[in-house]
Amino acid sequence: MLNRRDCLLAAAAGLLVAGVPRLAGAQSLAETDAPKVPAPKGATVLLNGSDLSAWVNRKDGQPAGWTRGDGWIEVNPGTGDIITQERFQDYRLHVEFWLPYMPEASGQARANSGVYNQGRLEVQVLDSYGQPPRDNEAGGIYQVAVPLRNGSKKPAHWQTYDIVYRAPRFGPDGKQTEKGRISVRHNGLVIHHNVAFDARTTTSGLPPENKDYSKPGPILLQDHGNKVRYRNIWIVPM
Q: Please, what sign has the CA dihedral across residues 69, 73, 79, 85?
A: positive
Number of domains forming the structure of the chain: 2
Please check the confidence at residue 179 and state whether its pLDDT lies above 70.
yes
The pLDDT, as a whole number, for residue 66 is 98
CATH number at residue 216: 2.60.120.560
The model carries a pTM of 0.88
Sorting pLDDT into bands at 50, 70 and 90, what band is 15?
Answer: very low
Do 8 and 24 lie in one domain? The reply is: yes
Do 14 and 79 lie in one domain? The reply is: no
Do 118 and 1 lie in one domain? The reply is: no
Do 46 and 62 lie in one domain? The reply is: yes
Do 224 and 134 lie in one domain? The reply is: yes
Do 118 and 5 lie in one domain? The reply is: no
- Residue 178 neighbours by CB distance under 10 Å: 13
Sorting pLDDT into bands at 50, 70 and 90, what band is 210?
Answer: confident
Please check the confidence at residue 175 and state whether its pLDDT lies above 50.
yes
Do 8 and 117 lie in one domain? The reply is: no
Q: What is the mean pLDDT of the chain?
A: 90
Give CA–CA dist 98/117, Å, rounded. 19
Do 59 and 111 lie in one domain? The reply is: yes
The pLDDT, as a whole number, for residue 29 is 86
Do 154 and 85 lie in one domain? The reply is: yes
> Residue 109 is inside which H or E element, if any?
none
The pLDDT, as a whole number, for residue 28 is 83
Residues 127-162 pLDDT 10s: 999 999 999 999 999 999 999 999 999 999 999 999
Do 164 and 88 lie in one domain? The reply is: yes
Contact 43, 235 (CB under 8 A): yes
Do 67 and 145 lie in one domain? The reply is: yes
Do 24 and 48 lie in one domain? The reply is: no
Identify the domain containing residue 52 by its residue range: 33-237
Query: Which residues are CB-neighbours of 141 under 8 A, at least 6 positions away?
Result: 121, 122, 123, 124, 135, 182, 184, 192, 195, 197, 202
